[in-house]
Amino acid sequence: MRKLTEIEAKVFNFLNDLRDSGKVNMFGARPYIIKTFGTGEKKSSEILILWMKNFEESREWNESDEIKA
């Protein structure tokens, strides 16, 4: 486990809100991350995958499991 970076925590919270809104299937959330946070495609994909892997209903995003490529 590791601490989330500041940007990861912000994107995780954004993704929770986006999911709750029902506007988009979360597999299509990458463009929303790019537009909102100005991250590149690769970084947006990495954070989205990390969020999906670590999604919990508790929404407490202090630590995260690493993605193994």
Length of the chain as a residue count: 69
Output the six-digit token pair for 53: 């892997």
Q: What is the pLDDT of residues 25-54, one digit of tens each?
A: 999 999 999 999 999 999 999 999 999 988
Q: Of 1-10, 11-20, 56-65, which has the strongest mean pLDDT?
A: 11-20
| Ranges of H-type helices in 1-69 | 6-21, 30-37, 41-54
- Angle at CA 60, nearest 5°, toward 39 and 13? 30
User: Residue 51 burial by CB count (10 A; 0-12/13-18/19+): exposed, middle or buried?
Assistant: buried
Strand partners, 63: 3
56 pLDDT tier (thresholds 50, 70, 90)? low
Q: How confident is the model at residue 60 (pLDDT cuts 50, 70, 90)?
A: low
